[in-house]
Amino acid sequence: MMTHETSFFRDKAPFETLARLIPDLLARRGVMKQLVIWSAACSTGQEPYSLAMLLHERFFSLLSSWRVRIIASDLSQIALGRAREGIYSELETARGLSPAMKTKYFRPLQGRWSVAQNCRGLIEFRQLNLTQPWPTMPACDFILLRNVLLYFDVPTRMAVLERMRRTLRPDGALFLGGAETMLGMDIGYERKIGTGCSYYVPLKR
């Protein structure tokens, strides 16, 4: 059964790995000054807001003159509605956020917590079914495709991963969920070891 289970900075390691990959990528994009990250099954929004907080926390001054886009998509209009709203309960914010991060990036709103504008402004929400033809996507530097592949059969997984490879820039990277793998699938990625997790880069052909 499909769930919308998610949390802020879920599994931590992919966010730590991203933070380690970003400086080199920014150096390579120094002329273009564009960074595109796609959260491809964003559920109720905690994943893309975590990305926005990470960029603000660690790369704020470096990125001030850049065009930064976080594209957040999901199949479910209900989940996307909550993601766009960006308002979370005490319990939801307690899952993954330190009190300091909560105070810095959220505003209290009638007993709940509303994401601050500096994070909202980076994110574009859109409905997208990964198993149907996609609208044109911009070339992405990083794609997070986490905890959704496990709901698809193997041929569908392979088709989605193949399209993700064509959407990634040649020096970009793809992150899967902790229990997801490309083991046994020959679809043009190389597995790399990050900080406590794996990630995948397109094979040079």
Residues that bind ligand SAM (CB under 6 A): 2-6, 10, 41, 43, 47, 74-76, 79, 129-131, 146-148, 151, 177
Question: Of 142, 150, 202, nearest to 179 (Cα)?
Answer: 150
Least distance in angstroms from the C-beta of 39 to ligand SAM: 7
* Residue number closest to ligand SAM, CB atom: 6
Least distance in angstroms from the C-beta of 74 to ligand SAM: 5
Tell me the CB-side half-sphere exposure of residue 90, using CA atoms within 13 A: 2
Q: Measured from the CB atom, is 10 or 165 closer to ligand SAM?
A: 10
Q: 């991963």: which residue's tokens?
A: 161
Least distance in angstroms from the C-beta of 164 to ligand SAM: 12
Q: Which two tokens stand for residue 45?
A: 């929004």
Least distance in angstroms from the C-beta of 90 to ligand SAM: 19
What is d(CA 40, CA 121) in angstroms, rounded to the nearest whole number?
A: 18
C-alpha separations of 169 from 61, 119, 126, 203 in Å: 24, 24, 21, 11
Count of helices and strands (H, E) across the chain: 7, 10
Q: Measured from the CB atom, is 171 or 180 closer to ligand SAM?
A: 180
Least distance in angstroms from the C-beta of 152 to ligand SAM: 7
Q: Measured from the CB atom, is 175 or 189 closer to ligand SAM?
A: 175
Q: Which amino acid appears at position 101 of this protein?
A: M
Q: Measured from the CB atom, is 4 or 102 closer to ligand SAM?
A: 4
Q: Measured from the CB atom, is 66 or 151 closer to ligand SAM?
A: 151
DSSP string, 149-160: GGGS-HHHHHHH
